[in-house]
């Protein structure tokens, strides 16, 4: 693979208030004010990993994070969560949005169970200590 050079530049764009990507653009504008290189240089020195490899890792890890989240959650759960949001937005009221928030909160609570309960197992049968 050919080495590539890129310029790490600050984003100072402007966008319409109804731009569907406004939140992302705002994040880019906010985070690109900071120079990531001092942190990457320290990591490189401490871990004995080339800076370019660390930059590549960070970019690939970030770019793949949506796919990883989808794999971990499963497409059914993602679709259900999206349906809740779309239904509330379709109704267009704060009441509907609040109800969607409560429903999403319940789904997230359900998704956290295996993270917070080390004995949890599918089917509701905790693993016995002897089973290891």
pLDDT tens-digit profile of 22-65? 998 999 999 999 999 999 999 999 999 999 999 999 998 888 87
Same domain, 78 and 45: no
Contacts 24+ apart (CB under 8 A), 48-52: 52/3
Asked whether residue 131 is assigned to any structural domain, the reply reads no
Task: Give the pTM.
Answer: 0.55
Q: What is the mean pLDDT of residues 103-112?
A: 86
Contact 102, 72 (CB under 8 A): no
Same domain, 16 and 62: yes
Torsion of Cα atoms, 97 then 102 then 108 then 112, to 10°: 160
Same domain, 44 and 108: no
Asked whether residue 91 is assigned to any structural domain, the reply reads yes
The pLDDT of residue 119 is 77
Same domain, 65 and 78: no
Same domain, 91 and 57: no
Contact 105, 131 (CB under 8 A): no
Q: Which domain holds residue 86?
A: 74-125
Tally of structural domains, the chain: 2
Asked whether residue 86 is assigned to any structural domain, the reply reads yes
Q: Does the pLDDT at position 10 exceed 70?
A: yes
């Amino acid at each position: 693979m050919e080495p590539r050079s890129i310029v790490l530049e600050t984003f100072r764009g402007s966008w319409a208030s109804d731009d569907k990507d406004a939140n992302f653009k705002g994040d880019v504008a906010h985070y690109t004010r900071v120079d990531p290189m001092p942190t990457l240089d320290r990591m490189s020195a401490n871990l004995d990993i080339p800076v370019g490899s660390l930059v590549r890792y960070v970019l690939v890890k970030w770019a793949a994070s949506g796919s990883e989240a989808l794999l971990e959650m499963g497409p059914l759960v993602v679709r259900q969560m999206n349906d809740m949001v779309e239904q509330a937005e379709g109704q267009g009221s704060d009441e509907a949005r609040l109800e969607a928030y409560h429903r999403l909160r319940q789904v997230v609570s359900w998704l956290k169970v295996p993270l917070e309960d080390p004995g949890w197992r599918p089917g509701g049968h905790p693993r016995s200590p002897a089973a290891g």
